[in-house]
Structure 1
Amino acid sequence: MEVVEEANKILEEKINTVIDIEYIPYVNKQEEILKKLYANDQVDVIDYRLQDLKEYIKDLNIADLTDLLPVYYPEIMGPSIDLDSMYTNGRIYQLPRVSTSAFQQRTCLVIDREFYKAAKEPSVETMKDVMALYKFGIEHENEQGDKFLDGDINRHFICIIFDVLRLCIQENGYTPLAINTFFALKDGEIIDLFETDIIENCYHYLADMYSQNALSQTFLNWINWAPRPNSKLPGLSMALTSFGMNSYYAIKDPDEFNRRYVTMFIGEHDPYSYKTLHPIFTICDNGSADRSVIACRYMYGNKELNQMLTYGVEGKHYKFVENQIENIWHDSRSVFNWWPSIVNDKFYLAMDYAPEGAEQYVKDFYDHPKQVISGVNNGKLNSYVNLAKADQELNDAMERRQEVYETLYFYEKSLSKGIPYEEIVSDLGKSRQRVLLEFIKEHINNLKG
């Protein structure tokens, strides 16, 4: 592969190392990997998390990285990094990557360009703005005489409940702690969203749109997005989605997608982020484990090399068009994100189907990170979810909330049966929910450093 050949030129020049990659079939992947390892095939690095790793450490001579990481990968030893999940029998046997993640991803609107232009390209910031576009779409036709939104001809507004809830919560000035638990922060106070009218209003928005026959609760399919009248998959005319979903996956036929659709950020946003560890590589102790750690870290941490491994070679696999990347497809294939384990968001380059400002959005997580609650690691704000499971009363309260979320998740089913919002939340139990809220407040207060 051209990308590996070019990457090896950099690796050899900088750290006197080259890599040779062998693909393992996805079917029976672990079985095939173990077969090669037991055959002693001089494997240095495995890009796979072996199940039941501790059973293979001795037999397969898996390298103990505990003492190597502070020397060759010191950034993972930082105070904001939680290493607890990395240990097996008190030692570290997998090489992790440090990722910076959005506490809550930003909401994006994807809309047919002709549709948006016909609506006079309005500013879209709130759910009411989205509703206004929806109303326009079901009432107006495109140049072919078809309604912009019409379920009978497979022209849908595609939105999962998660994205609708997030937009409704954020536009009211709240920062959700976890969408599916319905707790949020506003003005420094943790709020039970069921004590507000936000969730009810959200359900009524969905009910209104559902009654007009152009709403779909499914995920936006980046492969089969075209609104084909006879397709069983919902066709895209307008959609709510998250930035993460439309920025790190290759879209089928991106040129046609860009011709037909525009993507934009909507709603307010603050760069709340947190660092996490993701175990990605298992390294064999064949006498060069230190070299393997150095090479893997360099591929992940060097900007020039990582962008090449993520996007390909400029001029061969992509080109810049108005400061965004346009894929150059070869034999109907793209190299973008061909090795997802190595992708480093820190070096993100906006694809041509990403919303305007996408690159700066990602950059802010690294350059201008903010805390939702001063003194509390954003990555620990949802730790109450697992802690509540240890107490029967708290766990019961959480389960009731999860049941509501699952009902809302499949909102088409609820709406088709005419189930009112009051019935959906009738089993929450106000007293036990208040006990849960007080527990969460106390827990998060204890997290403050």
Structure 2
Amino acid sequence: MNKQWFKVIAGVLSLAIVLVACGSAKEEKKSAGEGQQKEELPMVELVWNFPLSAIPQDLDSVQEAVNKITKEKINATVKLKAHTFADYNQKMNTVVASGESYDIAWTANWNWDYLQNQSKGAFLELDDLLNSYAPDLLKSMPEFVWDAAKIQGKIYGIPNYQTVTKREGFIIQKRFADKYNLDVNSIKKFEDIEPFLKQIKESESADIVPFLNDKYGRFNIMPQSLGLEAITANNIIGVDLKNPETPINLYETEQYKHYLDTMRDWYTKGYVNENAATLKNKNDIIQTGNAAVQFHNVLKPGGEIEAKAANGGNDVIYVPLTEPYASTGTVITTMQAINKNSKNAERAMMFINLLNTDKELYNTISFGVEGKHYTKVSDNVIQVNKDAGYAPNAGWVFGNTFNGYLVEGMDPAVLEETKKANESATKSPLMGFKFDSTPVMAEIANLATVIDQYLPALETGTWDPNEKLKEFQDKLKQAGTDKVMAELAKQIEAWKQTK
């Protein structure tokens, strides 16, 4: 009897030991899968390309600080390859064409185009990697943000979650607004700013630019305030928001003619910088503090602090002309993509996941090294040392801005206001639609050539539109606007059937 009981007890204990061992093994596997324990990962170096207004002098020390974090968490180092916004498109085209090795690259719908580069096969499909290595990242953004990032149902770029709306209007240096008693409530449309520009031109020194423009013009960032939405690259084809299903040539609209006439008038009166048609990087003037008025399409909550830093430390005020508006284009303005030929795609996704979920890493790449590049005022508020060699002032380039410190002077309510704007913004009737330009690539290329030839001088007021606009429109038509519009109409109709 005792022997029988002994056998039973021994059997139960053996089973318990097996179950515990199995459970431990499962937990260990689960832990390795969720945490990607660094001891299980071989050391790799990732290469990350991204643009900034200017290349920071002390980028090396920030790279060192970033790598201290990434070594600990994913057993990887990251080579930070910063380029200027003005050079980024050309630089990255060269990188891809030459087969130069890289793992991650910033992309957007306005610089090194997300859709075009995906269609060329530059980017890796990310759905599986997101599910496996970044489930928290997937949960961190609203569904419509991910919908906007999808191309034919697949994700090829990770949006840097920030304000995903646009709000068009003026950025005005406060010193001039105060000096001339500017009534901001009187400014309801673009041309209403002219009396203020006249005062600045007549009263300020010659180095002050009343209205800053550059070779890219301002029409491409003011469609909403004109009742339009651009769909294709180069702002050529879009829709009137009163009839969003019918594509039109935006350069043949009354709104475009009105913009050109206004800009020509301002240019001849000396309100616009004389070098506008050849100015490649407007930040060269902005950082001097000499730009009195600018037009921008992302007047985000709390953005005045960033704009102050960009404007040579001069306080600015926002004068919006529109309410927050969200579209596919407002979401895909800043993204990270993984090179289709990356040898370390899984680790690259782990890094992007950290950029968007790890506050220490995000704030290091955004603000630099504590005690050197910035000083903490409180737990979540910092003071930036702009003379320390690292003040990129571009957290939106790197990752989820809601993880960032507040810069001293910024309203603590900004983050909640931004989230509220994201959620409550008017959504485009074409939200989620993306134009596949592959069937008309030749026409798009020809149109780009025409635009490069005419747009800088036309949109800065350097050329008289009465002499050159018709010629520009004719050249666009010859280059293929009708074919592009027909293809866009076809794709919008097909997209509607899937909704």
Taking structure 1 as the reference length, the TM-score comes to: 0.62
The amino acid across from 2:224 in the alignment is: Q
Alignment partner for residue 174 of structure 2, among 110, 113, 116?
113
Distance in structure 2 (CA, Å) of the matches to 1:335 and 1:401: 34
Q: Check if 1:279 corresponds to 2:337.
A: yes
Q: Is the 8 A contact 1:108 1:241 kept in 2?
A: yes
Cα RMSD (Å) of the superposition?
5.5
Change (3 A) 1:426 1:349: farther
1:152-195 CA-to-partner distances (Å, cap 9, x unmatched) read x4634212475632565323333333562142231343352455
Q: Is the 8 A contact 2:166 2:326 kept in 1?
A: no
Equivalent residue, structure 2, for 1:126: 189
Shift of 1:201: 0.8
Q: Is the 8 A contact 2:211 2:272 kept in 1?
A: yes
Change (3 A) 1:353 1:199: farther
Q: Check if 1:177 corresponds to 2:193.
A: no
Aligned residues: 386
Equivalent residue, structure 1, for 2:455: 408
Equivalent residue, structure 2, for 1:157: 211
SS where residue 410 of structure 1 aligns? helix
Q: Is the 8 A contact 1:111 1:237 kept in 2?
A: yes
Distance in structure 1 (CA, Å) of the matches to 2:268 and 2:312: 28
Q: Is the 8 A contact 1:47 1:341 kept in 2?
A: no
Distance in structure 2 (CA, Å) of the matches to 1:128 and 1:109: 11
Distance in structure 2 (CA, Å) of the matches to 1:356 and 1:415: 46
Q: Check if 1:344 corresponds to 2:391.
A: no
Alignment partner for residue 211 of structure 1, among 246, 265, 268?
268
Shift of 1:442: 3.2
1:300-328 CA-to-partner distances (Å, cap 9, x unmatched) read 32345423432246665435889986412
Q: What are the ranges of 5 or more consecutive residues in structure 2 without an aligned counterpart? A: 1-60, 84-90, 107-123
Distance in structure 1 (CA, Å) of the matches to 2:409 and 2:449: 34
Change (3 A) 1:220 1:130: farther
The amino acid across from 2:259 in the alignment is: C
Change (3 A) 1:324 1:156: farther
Q: Is the 8 A contact 1:182 1:401 kept in 2?
A: no
Change (3 A) 1:163 1:319: farther
Q: Is the 8 A contact 1:8 1:19 kept in 2?
A: no
Change (3 A) 1:439 1:120: same
1:48-90 CA-to-partner distances (Å, cap 9, x unmatched) read 79xxxxxxxxxxxxx9999655322346698735378999xxx
Change (3 A) 1:85 1:443: closer
Shift of 1:248: 12
Q: Check if 1:135 corresponds to 2:198.
A: yes
Distance in structure 2 (CA, Å) of the matches to 1:201 and 1:338: 33
Distance in structure 2 (CA, Å) of the matches to 1:226 and 1:96: 31
Larger radius of gyration: 2
Identity across matched positions, percent = 13
Equivalent residue, structure 2, for 1:60: none
Q: Check if 1:387 corresponds to 2:439.
A: yes
Distance in structure 2 (CA, Å) of the matches to 1:352 and 1:206: 37
The amino acid across from 1:309 in the alignment is: I
Q: Is the 8 A contact 1:109 1:265 kept in 2?
A: yes
Larger helix percent: 2
Taking structure 2 as the reference length, the TM-score comes to: 0.57
Q: What are the ranges of 5 or more consecutive residues in structure 1 without an aligned counterpart? A: 38-44, 50-62, 88-94, 229-234
1:352-392 CA-to-partner distances (Å, cap 9, x unmatched) read 79999975675357545654126x514x1x43x443347xx
SS where residue 181 of structure 2 aligns? coil
